[in-house]
Amino acid sequence: MFRVVGGLTLVALAAGLVMAFGVAPREVTQGNVQRIMYLHVPSVWVAYLAFAVVLVASIVYLARRLDGADRLAHASAEVGVLFTGLTIATGSIWGKPTWGTWWTWDARLTSVSILFVMYLGYLLLRGMIEDPDQGARYAAVLGIVAAFNIPLVHFSVYWWRTLHQPPSLMKPGPGTMPGVIVAALMVNFVAFSLLYIYFVAMRVRLLRREAEAAA
Amino acid sequence: MVWKDLLVERRSKETLNALFFFALLLLFVFQFAVGPDRERLAGTLPGLLWLGFILTGLLGLGRTFVVERENDCWEALRLTPGDKSAIYVGKLAGNLLLMLVVEAILVALFGIFFNLDLAGVVPALVVVIGLGTVAFAAVGTLFAAMTSQVRARELLFPVLLLPVQAPVLLATVKATEAVLLGEPLGSVAHWLKLLGAADVIFVTVGVLTFDFVLEG
Amino acid sequence: MPDNWGFVLLAYGLAAVVLIVYWRRLVRRERALEAESQPAARRT
């Protein structure tokens, strides 16, 4: 089963690369640097997906005390942090040639950084509590608080950055993008989503085996 | 609940003195760090004020449940019959009161030492500080309970609390900035609404999840 | 607009390294656990 998902993921990733480099055209204003977006945007999508899963799994755990839900939350948070870090890194690398600086407190990078630190704290909390039951409960509570904070982060950072400031190169998002670019993005969305599922599934299985070994 | 109130009051009095002292020290630090440049000081004042609130808040709130843990009262809290969220609300109210008192003192000190004209803006300031502090105390009380047992609690508490407070901090500093410039509250209505939403969200989540925190 | 392929390579290279390292970490820990449980299974 895992091999199938893994294989599919590889194929999708390969397709994504082909789309990003072979099919998608050289972007008019930014040049080939824009191709980093095929990494950056799907990464951010996966991160949000991951944290949404953490929220749902956390609620389910508190409501039903299913160990599987706890493991899912843990795994999803870990993979989420991974992709959040990637989002920040790729965003920064894209920013250097585009804005001339490695770092800028624009809306996206700032929000994603806050997310990164929040869920890193989640992983830290899990690491620091010895009692597995207590760790699961506390992590679930934190997972819920963090998730509800996400919209607050979004609005606050967006208002902070765009009020009294021209929204020039602010959001490199969809809008009036040519169809080919959208298609390339979509393929990479799918590839990254599959990668997320694969990683989370592996991580959950590892967690379950670790729990069984400890028992 | 009465016993708990007494406990809160006793702790508050001894904590209040220490926090007052800490706030005073912060003022000195701010003065040395930013004071000499008058213009820069004026620009950073709202940020410094909230920095002061947060640093003192971290110290004060971090200890919310330490007394219970040290005196083995945690079990007593756990076994209290009835809705455990009442404990959360009680602690929250206590923390809120503590923070508001410290903040009032800090604002007064800021006004004195940095020569601010606070005459007309006090009501608006009260609104902004009130809204921001509720959010801080709500999450802080919850996280204080969660970290009270961890060995590195002084480290984990701020690490967990600060990222969550980032949007609230943004909102309060922006709103305070406007208020100190004499602008009407209406001009920062969106920030106030965000703070209001944060308050509702955090208190609700705190009330709903405190039971689970108290179990262990 | 210069093409900045260096940055593109850096981004994709970094992503590849991070993802592969994570994947290998998972696989390695999985194999270690399996190796631990095997001797016990064989004994019973």
Q: What is the pLDDT of residue A92?
A: 92
**Distances from the Cα of A80 to the Cα of A76, A90, A176, A204, angstroms:** 6, 15, 29, 14
Interface probe, candidates A59, A81, A113, A152, chain B, greatest B C-beta count within 10 A: A152
Q: Cβ–Cβ of C7/A199 closer than 8 Å?
A: no
- B165/A35: higher pLDDT: B165
B63-82 tens-digit pLDDT? 878 777 777 777 777 777 77
Tell me: pLDDT of B193 over 90: yes
The pLDDT of residue A165 is 42
More confident residue, C36 or B95: B95
Instruction: Measure in Å the smallest separation between the Cα of B194 and chain A Cα atoms.
Output: 7
Task: Please tell me the total count of domains within chain A.
Answer: 1
> What's the longest Cα–Cα distance across chain B?
57
Nearest to residue A31, comparing CAs of C10, C3, C11?
A: C3
Burial label for A100, CB within 10 Å (0-12, 13-18, 19+), is exposed
- With a cut of 80, say whether residue B56 has pLDDT above it: yes
Chain B residue numbers with beta carbons less than 8 Å from the beta carbon of A149 are 164, 167
The one-character DSSP state at A169 is S
Chain A residues 135-154 with CB within 8 Å of chain B: 137-138, 140-142, 144-146, 148-149, 152-153
Respond yes or no on whether ipTM tops 0.90.
Answer: no
In-domain check, residue A29: no
Least confident segment among A191-205, B127-141, B175-189, B194-208:
B175-189
User: For the whole model, what pTM was predicted?
Assistant: 0.89
Span B90-98, average pLDDT: 89
A23 lies in some domain:
no
A93 — contact with chain C (CB < 8 Å)?
yes
B201 or A107, which is more confident: B201
- What parts of chain A have a pLDDT lower than 50? 165-171, 174
Check CB contact under 8 Å for B149 and A114. Answer: no
Write down the pLDDT at residue B57.
92
Q: Which of C4, C14, C21, C34 to mutate to probe the A interface, most A CBs <10 Å?
A: C4
Closest among C2, C16, C15, C14 to A27, alpha carbons compared: C2
Q: What pLDDT was estimated at residue A145?
A: 96
Whether A12 is in a domain gets the answer yes
A61 within some domain: yes
Higher-confidence position of A44 and B114: A44
> What pLDDT does B7 receive?
65
pLDDT attached to residue A166: 38
Q: What residue numbers bound the domain in which A163 lies?
A: 2-17+37-214
Structural domain contains residue A22: no
* Mean pLDDT value of segment B196-202: 96
Lowest mean pLDDT among A51-55, B42-46, B155-159: B42-46
Give the per-residue pLDDT at C14: 94
Decide if A25 is inside a domain. no
Contacts of A39 in chain C (CB under 8 A): 11-12, 15
Res B83 pLDDT > 70: yes
Secondary structure of chain B in HEC code, one letter for each residue: CHHHHHHHHHHHHHHHHHHHHHHHHHHHHHHHHHCCCHHHHHHHHHHHHHHHHHHHHHHHHHCCCHHHHHCCCHHHHHHCCCCCHHHHHHHHHHHHHHHHHHHHHHHHHHHHHCCCCCCCCHHHHHHHHHHHHHHHHHHHHHHHHHHCCCCCHHHHHHHHHHHHHHHHHHHHHHHHHHHHCCCCHHHHHHHHHHHHHHHHHHHHHHHHHHHHHHCC
Q: Give the pLDDT confidence score for residue A169 in this predicted structure.
A: 40
pLDDT of residue B157: 94
Q: How many CB pairs under 8 A join A and C?
A: 72
A52 belongs to a structural domain = yes
Given an 8 Å threshold on Cβ–Cβ distance, is A86 in contact with C15? Answer: yes
Distance of alpha carbon B50 from alpha carbon B167, whole angstroms: 13
The answer to whether residue A99 sits within a structural domain is: yes
Give the pLDDT confidence score for residue A168 in this predicted structure: 41
Q: What is the pLDDT of residues B25-40, one digit of tens each?
A: 988 888 888 877 777 7
- Pick the residue from chain C with its C-alpha nearest to A26: C3
The per-residue pLDDT for B42 is: 76
In tens digits, chain C (44 residues) has pLDDT values of 566 788 889 999 999 999 999 999 999 998 888 887 766 555 55
Helix (H) or strand (E) holding A173: none
Chain-wide mean pLDDT for chain B? 86
